[in-house]
Every structure is written in C-alpha cells, then in structure tokens.
A and B are shown apart, each in its own frame.
Chain A
C-alpha cells in the first residue's frame, strides 16, 4: 500500500507558466483534498472532491482548477502561475469526512 502519493515532489515555474500536480491514492477513498501550507498560515483547503466526477471549492480556490476523472486520482492545475502561489501543496484522502491521510507534499516555487 503506497497510501497517498504526489507527483512531482519539487517544481520551479516562471510567472505565467502552467502545470498540473497529480495526487493518487490506493485506499479506495471517496474523498480527496488539496491544501496549501504557507509559513504561519497552517493548512488551507484549495479544492476538494466527495467522489469521482465531483469537485467543490475550499477556502482559497482562486487561481487553481481541479479534476477527479478517476476515483483514485485528483489533479490540481495552475493555469497561469503567480509568485503568490509559491507554497507547499498537500493532497489528502479519506473514507469518512474526518480522518484524512496526507501525501508527502509538493514544494512549488514561482519566480
């Protein structure tokens, strides 16, 4: 069991470039989440999904899009990266609403 995996682990983008972060889970969880963590800000929810084909906005959704075409995958897209999106991104999944299992994170720098 790999749990929750994230690809890539590190990425540097120039302002205006686009990229997609991939999250995969092998626990057959219905719920999946994307968070960002910034110094002194804790974990803030970007988008989440309660099942295949569904997505919903979290606390800080602007500048991001997501897709959940397969139950095991949750993609986070940045269409036009900005320096304010420099952060560590965590994906998580859960069977119920509450106990979430996190991936190792993706460190993104936008210059």
Chain B
C-alpha cells in the first residue's frame, strides 16, 4: 500500500505561470515532509521541507503547503521557469522511522 502518493505523473505549465504539484499521504505518524527535484542522469536534490507543526514554508519561488486534516501537501513554484523542468518527488518521514518514504514523482515541463 502506497503511503505517499503523487497522482499526477506529469504536469505542463507555461513559463511565468504557477506550477502546483500535489502529494497525498496515508500515514498519520508522518511529521516531516520534503520535496526533491531530479534532473535526468543526476541524483535527486533537496528542494524544500516542512514540519507537521507548520502549514506553510517558503523559500524564494518555492512554497510548500501542508494540510494535515486532509493529509495533503502541495508545492507551488512561482513564477515557473524552463530550468524548473524536472521530476519532483514528495517524501515523508516519522520520527519513529529511520528512513524517508518517497512518492513516484511528477514530471514537470515548463514551456518557454
């Protein structure tokens, strides 16, 4: 059973517009959530994270929102740039675990 779900395999957005990537989770013990970005032939790189005690975290063009009651988080990229085209992975963890659980990823394409 998938504990972290990214239901959209792909997303296409025009340059300058907002990109919204979504992630749902089922395990109520998760207390820390992260987004990773991955370019082809490279390892994933950490993008932004949020603790369960917050509902929003912002870093430049990237904002992550957490809705604990809905077990849902989203990543907003504003404005989107062609260089943002990559696969984005959502990940979650609980303090009792020693690892992250990753979603399957969403491929974002930003068109010039």
Using CB atoms and an 8 Å cutoff, list the residues of chain A in contact with chain B: 4, 31, 33, 35, 40-45, 48, 50, 56, 58, 90, 92, 97-105
Contact = CB atoms under 8 A, between A and B. Distances in A.
Interface band, chain B: 20 to 34
14 contacts: A4-B43, A41-B104, A42-B89, A42-B102, A42-B104, A44-B102, A58-B99, A90-B43, A98-B100, A100-B46, A102-B43, A103-B43, A105-B41, A105-B42
B34 interface: yes
Interface of B: 9, 32, 34, 36, 41-46, 49, 89, 93, 95, 97-100, 102-105
Contacts of A104: 41-43
Contacts, number: 54
- For the residues of A in contact with B, the DSSP-based class is strand
A42 to B, nearest CB: 4
Contacts of B46: 99-101
Given A58-B99, A98-B49, A102-B43, 8 more contacts: A40-B9, A42-B104, A45-B100, A50-B98, A92-B43, A98-B93, A101-B46, A102-B44
